[in-house]
Amino acid sequence: MNMKKQIAFGTGGFRGVIGDDFNKENIQYIAQALANIVNRNHQEDRPIIVGYDNRFMSDFAAKWFVEVLNGNGIKCFLYTHSVPTPTVMSTTRDMCNYYGVMMTASHNPYYFNGIKVFTIGGYDADVNFTSSLEKEIAEVKEIKIMTDRVARRKDLLEDYNNLGSYLSHIKSFIDPSVTKNKLRVLYNNMNGVGVIGLKPLSEKLHIYQFTIMNEDHDAFFGFNLPNPTKDALSGEFSETVVNQQYDLGMATDSDGDRLGIIDEKGNYVSANEILASIYHYLIAHRGYKGDIVKNCATSVLVDLVAESLGYKCHEVDVGFKNITHGMNEFDALLGGESSGGLTMRGYIYGKDATFSGALFLEMVIRLNKPVSQIIGELKESVGYDYSFFEDFITLDVDAEKVLKYMANNLPKLNTPYEKVNIFGRNLKFLFNDRQWLLLRLSGTEPAFRLFAEFKDANKAQELIKELKKYINDVQNVILAEK
């Protein structure tokens, strides 16, 4: 069986089940393919930074990857400890490296791992590059390996740690007045690497009380999904925030790029609300200027806030690389997505929960209001009266076939839509009053994710149910054709 045929890169890099798609052989194939591209393009004059998170096998995977790059004469900087993904992106940018590599499966379950590749400037590798990498992988004939000891003797491998400069860069964006505060924060690290940045940063910002939960290294993440969603933060965590009278709860995913917030009443603050509130704060209270970029699955709340401030919200396809390219195109101040990540003009070209968490903490301290009041006043000021829903449906047939069929045979819904916008592999149905329904093909599993935002919550749920039924009907049609 030729394992390398299974290697494919999605919106968040290559991901696979540990021991199945994510194995030593595939890791080495990817490393050799990248090495071939580097050498063919005469890019070996700059080192490649390689990082890893707390996931099972991440540290071993990083070493296997480096052994291949070293075997091809390419110098590497290897982190001395697990780090958040954004630190690798920032290093790739700061050192002007052609490439950076991170071993992580982001927020996926514990039995997944993966590889993210960053290109010069610290960008997520775009589709053109990952497509060329996939082709290169299929053509690999020989894998060259050099041991750690030999690589160090030949000056092809060095240990690396940039935590100090990484945190200093984040702090440079923060208003110095946050040093005087009485903020009490309960932070759920979810057994990930977010604590590596947020713990020292909370000390630099003189947060009055920063209590940490799940700080220990657990490759199984307590057998919980390491993603700060509403479901994950409900129950014990949100109850603790309320019962112990914290001002807010904060959580980050396993590789430290997604942020979740619980307000002082125990209510979940969505990524849409985090993005909109920070944007409003930066414009209205810090004096920044500029548009904002969101992906097609993000709330209309962001549009309403931008327009209320005299700016525009630009919509792009799913994938943070599309957000950062949009930010450059429109010189936008902020960019973010509904799944829980954002970045800012002048910062890295990727999402970072340490950075967004710091901005959120600053906002709460400077405004000196409860989180629930900040979000409530913002919604009221722009007339936001919508309900936002998410759902998913697992597929039994090839997702691309389902999507292709649907694009040529659009569903007839009980509530008629005005038009359909196609964003890559996503279909967005637009209704009146800025209401919408989105069908998004998952980049990590055989499933569709469905999003709906309507003024009538029942209508949103009905439409999601209708669309799920239509998808099942399409699957039956495809199965019948086999």
Each residue's pLDDT tens digit, 434-446: 999 999 887 666 7
pLDDT given at position 444: 64
> What percent of the chain clears pLDDT 70, i.e. is strictly above it?
98
- What confidence category does residue 424 fall into, taking pLDDT thresholds of 50, 70 and 90? confident
Lowest mean pLDDT among 172-176, 206-210, 238-242, 400-404: 400-404
Output the DSSP codes for 147-209.
Answer: -HHHHHHTT-EEEE--HHHHHHHHHTTS-GGGGS---EEEEE-TTSSTHHHHHHHHHHTT-SE
What is the token pair recorded at 471? 């998808």
- What confidence category does residue 5 fall into, taking pLDDT thresholds of 50, 70 and 90? low
Across the range 178-207, mean pLDDT stands at: 94
pLDDT given at position 399: 82
Collapsed DSSP state (helix, strand, coil) of residue 82: coil
Task: Decide: 35 and 69 in contact? Cβ < 8 Å.
Answer: yes
What is the token pair recorded at 338? 């509904």
What does pLDDT average to over the chain? 94
Across the range 310-324, mean pLDDT stands at: 94
Each residue's pLDDT tens digit, 171-189: 999 998 888 899 999 999 9
pTM of the model: 0.93
- What confidence category does residue 1 fall into, taking pLDDT thresholds of 50, 70 and 90? very low
The separation between CA 21 and the C-alpha centre of its own chain, rounded to angstroms, equals 21
Q: Between these two residues, 224 and 446, which has the higher pLDDT value?
A: 224
* Residues 6+ positions from 442 with CB-CB distance below 8 Å: 392, 399, 448, 449
- What confidence category does residue 264 fall into, taking pLDDT thresholds of 50, 70 and 90? very high
CA-nearest of 160, 230, 232, 174 to 206 is: 174
**Structural domains in the chain?**
3-161 (3.40.120.10), 166-382 (3.40.120.10), 387-481 (3.30.310.50)
φ, ψ for residue 90, nearest 5 deg = -65, -35
> What are the CA-CA distances from residue 326 to residues 13, 231, 319, 362 (Å)?
20, 31, 11, 26
The separation between CA 7 and the C-alpha centre of its own chain, rounded to angstroms, equals 21
Task: Decide: 179 and 205 in contact? Cβ < 8 Å.
Answer: yes
pLDDT given at position 4: 52
- What confidence category does residue 47 fall into, taking pLDDT thresholds of 50, 70 and 90? very high
Task: Decide: 210 and 249 in contact? Cβ < 8 Å.
Answer: no
